[in-house]
Copies of this chain bind each other. A is one copy, B any other.
């Protein structure tokens, strides 16, 4: 039961390149995603690179924001949310 006045933060584990559509759907709904990329990184690094490239293109097109979070995660946001960066990378 989602409340339209609220923004949601959702954590998500990326296991398959097909998950990119789920991510785009959630961002289009205005959600903030914290995506653990390690499962796909361990399975297929080329697939991970492709997903990350697709996400950068998508986020750029909608004017959202994207950043690494440590070694295992990326943060992706819709246009209404920006990531506060020191340099180009989160801690």
Q: Which residues of B contact A34 (CB under 8 A)?
A: 34, 69, 75, 90
A36 on interface, CB distance cutoff 8 Å: yes
Query: How many residues from A make CB contacts under 8 Å with B?
Result: 28
Q: A6 an interface residue at 8 Å Cβ cutoff?
A: yes
Q: Are A7 and B80 closer than 8 Å at their CB atoms?
A: yes
Which residues of A57-81 are within 8 A (CB) of B? 65, 69-70, 72-73, 75, 77, 80-81
**What CA separation (Å) do A80 and B73 show in the bound complex?**
24
A-B contact pairs, 19 of them (CB 8 A): A6-B80, A6-B81, A7-B7, A7-B80, A7-B82, A8-B81, A8-B82, A8-B84, A9-B32, A9-B82, A11-B75, A11-B90, A11-B91, A12-B91, A32-B32, A34-B69, A36-B70, A36-B91, A70-B72
